[in-house]
A and B are shown apart, each in its own frame.
Chain A
Amino acid sequence: MTAASAGGDRRAFRANWPARAGLLALVLYVLYAGQILDLSWDRFVFGLDQGGRFLSRLVPPDFTRWSLLLDGLLESLQIAIIATVLGVAVSLPVGLCAARNLMPWWVSTPVRAFIAVCRSFHPIIVAIVFVKAIGFGALAGILALVVASIGFVAKLFAEAIEEISMKQVEAVRATGASFANVVTMGVLPQVLARFIGFATYQLDSNLRNSTMVGIVGGGGIGGTLFAAFQRFDYDFLCAILIAIIALIMLGELLATRLRAIFQ
């Protein structure tokens, strides 16, 4: 802008060379990475052809095996509900222990590390480990989603506790209250509303993942989905997909309702 006032440069917006260089670097990266991953135009065009045939085999969806479909959906729903309740119940104490303003560092640091481990693995990978450890079935899926719930809810809960006003906590402490009373009277009232928000979000997220843990043997509709895919049973696959999407949208609606009640 100084150049414009001096009268030399009359353009309102000057060229932003660093941004252009960044854009060029990005384009070069895309070309390089595309080459490494062997993404070529020929494959893409061939795939589009294939995609047309695939789509034509998806429709019409085949709902004749609806009882199998319903069983799978119900099991996914059960996994999601149990995992959310257990996960949220475990997240309360874990999140409390991870809050640095209430706990000494030698408690909060290991707990925070534990939460980080829970968070960094995708629920499907955790499900694989549990399927090996305790066998196929819904229990493996439940435990995997409990781990995922701890990773998310406990982390956000700890952050919410770290943001509370310490005045109320000190006031409760000054009355000579025990630690449990400080938590229930000084801390929880300040964070409960946000905690319920995290819990409903996690219910939504667990419902999404509970339809997928079946792919690795963790119970629910995912197993049926993967089997239909591997047997090229594409019209049944389409029916399963429609059912899953309907379930997820229903879950989203329910979570919104629940949040509205507790606001």
Chain B
Amino acid sequence: MTGAVLHDRIWRRFTPAERLARFAAYLAIVAAFVASLRTVEVIPEFLYDAPEQMADLLNRMWPADLAYYPAGVHAALVETLHIATLGTLFSIVLAVPVALLSARNITRSAALNWLGKLVLVSSRSVNSLVWALLFVAVFGPGALAGTLAIAFRSVGFVGKLLAEALEEAAPGPVEALRAAGAPPASVLLKGFWPQVQPAFWSVALFRWDINVRESAVLGLVGAGGIGLVLNSAMDLFQWDRVATALIAIFAVVIAAEVLVTQIRKRIL
């Protein structure tokens, strides 16, 4: 047995450099947490009566004013769904060319790839509420601003994942089509599209699910949908109506999630 030799060695999973990096990361996290806790401005008086305030809020919300749903909430809820769906569709229309531009195996130019990536990153770094603010300033309050905000925020997400799917496509069918003299449009449609189709549907569904959630808050900055109802009910302290709107949002979000899961199970 070589056990005698092995006994003297201390076996470690990580190299000293790795252990040092981990230790530094832990230290940095703890230091950042403690520093934040000590400097963050929390008003203690607000904290003391928080349980009372919470109970008061729930009291005002309960029972929810369900009679208000047909008159005030339903139309806004439908509008929210339309904003999410139209925004997703529009974002796909915008994202496909950008994805083609940033996929290295389709556009063979580093400068153009970089341009495509830049468009995708800038779309993702701006929150949908900020996009909504900008479009409200441009197009005025309403669903148009909300739809465009959803579309512009989603371009980065859809485009990035689509470009990754395109780059992973097998080159065989594409080269075969090119060798047969197919025009570029046919190469895209018959060479790439069948390969990226599953990823495409999955990304589109996933983004639609996220957009249903996001479009519910756009109304807070005036960009249409159920957020407007929520905002005006809060401004008027009609908390039972706020509760109705919250229940409606919850139901729609859960329904969207179930729908997406079912579709994924069936077709993917």
With A50-B139, A137-B42, A262-B22 given, is the CB distance from A215 to B220 under 8 Å?
A: yes
With A121-B246, A134-B46 as known contacts, state yes or no: A34 contacts B86, CB within 8 Å.
yes
Task: Tell me whether A125 and B147 are in contact in the complex, defined as CB-CB below 8 angstroms, given that A78-B39, A135-B43, A137-B43 are known contacts.
Answer: no
Q: Is B115 part of the contact surface with A, judged by Cβ < 8 Å?
A: no
The answer to whether A134 and B53 have CB atoms under 8 Å apart is yes
Interface residues of B in 176-192 (CB under 8 A from A): 190
Q: Is B268 an interface residue (CB 8 A)?
A: no
In the complex the two chains form, is B86's CB within 8 Å of A37's CB? yes
A48 CA / B140 CA spacing, docked (Å): 11
> Does B138 have its Cβ within 8 Å of any Cβ on chain A?
yes
B11 on interface, CB distance cutoff 8 Å = no
What's the Cα separation between A47 and B190 when bound, in Å?
Answer: 39
In the complex formed, the residue of A with least CB distance to B81 is A33
When the two chains form their complex, are residues B86 and A30 in contact, meaning their CB atoms are under 8 A apart? yes
* Size band of the interface chain B makes with A: 35 or more
Q: How far is the CA of A44 from the CA of B135 in the complex (A)?
A: 11
Residue of B nearest to A139 (CB): B42
Interface residues of A in 110-162 (CB under 8 A from B): 116-117, 120-122, 124-125, 128-129, 132-135, 137-139, 142
B-side contacts of A258, CB under 8 Å? 25
Greatest chain A CB density within 10 A among B36, B143, B213 is at B36
How many angstroms between the C-alpha atoms of A41 and B43 in the bound complex?
50
Partner of A133, one of B54, B134, B254: B54
Contact indicator B250/A121 (Cβ below 8 Å): yes
Which of A38, A125, A138 contacts B246, CB < 8 Å?
A: A125
Do A248 and B125 have beta carbons less than 8 Å apart?
Answer: yes
Size category, A interface: 35 or more
A261 on interface, CB distance cutoff 8 Å? yes
A37-B125 in contact (CB<8A): no
User: Which one of A1-9, A79-87, A165-173, A179-187 is at the B interface?
Assistant: A79-87
Q: Closest CB-CB distance, A125 to chain B, in whole Å?
A: 6
**B215 shortest CB reach to chain A, Å:** 9
Q: Is the CB of A82 within 8 A of B37?
A: yes
Partner of B138, one of A50, A78, A116: A50
Judge if B111 is at the interface, Cβ distance under 8 Å: no
Inter-chain CA distance A215–B133, complex, in Å, is 11
Flag if B254 contacts A120 (CB, 8 Å). yes
Known: A216-B220, A225-B130. 14 other contacts (CB 8 A): A39-B86, A39-B144, A43-B140, A43-B144, A54-B137, A81-B32, A82-B36, A120-B257, A121-B253, A133-B53, A134-B47, A135-B53, A229-B133, A229-B137
27 contacts between A and B (CB under 8 A): A37-B79, A37-B82, A37-B142, A37-B147, A39-B144, A43-B139, A43-B144, A44-B144, A54-B138, A78-B36, A78-B40, A81-B33, A82-B37, A117-B250, A120-B253, A120-B254, A122-B217, A124-B129, A128-B234, A134-B50, A142-B40, A208-B127, A215-B221, A245-B125, A245-B126, A248-B125, A262-B22
